[in-house]
Amino acid sequence: MFRLLSIEIHKLKNSTASKVLILTYFALLMSIALIAAIKFDIGPVQFHLAEQGIFNFPFIWHFNTFIAAFFKFFLLLVIVSMMANEYSNKTLKQNLIDGLSKKEFVMSKFYTVLLFALISTVFVFFVSLVLGLIYSDFNEFSIIFSDLEYLVAFFVKLLGFFSFGLFLGMLIKRSAFAVGAMLIWFIAETIGYNLLKWNVFRGTDIADNIFQFAPLNSMWNLIHEPFSRLGAVRTIANQIGEDIGADYAVHWYEIAIVLGWTFIFIYGSYFLLKIRDL
């Protein structure tokens, strides 16, 4: 494992574009802390976002993982280009000539994806922990380390998403087209879901039950939006007679679905490489 991983890290070190994207990604994760500085002071209306409880334990684990997940597209570019460069630079063929098996080649990419997801999760954990210790109104040990399942969901979400990017990079061989394919897939899922939800099966949960198994939608379902959990939002909802009955929990079957897609994407990448004439 470490031998294969070291090969990929060496390749990334020699890619300026990859290093810039990786640094940008982690800088954006750090930028979550800047949310604490957002203040609105418009006449009698004074609003400090950090005082609304977004950094309270244990809510911060939900909020920060949800926000951090939007920045994953920067690492997607790294992973897709990492795969595309193997074809354009002829390093794939050279690796195989040097004795690397096709299975080891795909696993080296998967280990890189695994490393990115793990480092991202640990990074978000420490950023959230520091912000929570500074701003949270609740600092009891049992409260601080409750709801950590959102970090597990965040890790699985990144793992599945990056594996999808790896598969598309292997399938299409061009980074720009692979990213475009991801966007097209997202649009197709969105249109398909809305057609079923608001036309074919209107007024039922059938569309949700079907599309919970779609790749990108299953990843989205791992961490639901956290904003309606805020006290200010619930107060406004109660005043206008709205009942917010959302389910914010991380469910084991949702994790299982994404892990299933991760296996399909990795095995699919290996299958493509195995049957393809290099």
CA distance 278 to 275: 9
pLDDT bracket for residue 32 (50, 70, 90): confident
Q: Is the model's pLDDT at 43 over the cut of 60? A: no
Q: Give pLDDT tens digits for 56-79.
A: 899 999 999 999 999 999 899 998
Q: Give pLDDT tens digits for 162-190.
A: 999 999 999 998 888 888 999 999 999 99
Q: What does the pLDDT average to over 15-38?
A: 83
Strand-pair partners of 39: 48
Look up the pTM and report it: 0.91
Q: Could you give the residue ranges of the DSSP H alpha helices within 89-225? A: 91-97, 102-135, 141-144, 149-172, 175-195, 206-211, 215-220
pLDDT value of residue 212:
94
Interior/surface letters 247-269, b for 16+ CB within 10 angstroms, e for the rest: eeebeeebbebbeebbebbbebb
Please give the span between the terminal C-alpha atoms of the chain, in angstroms, as a whole number: 24
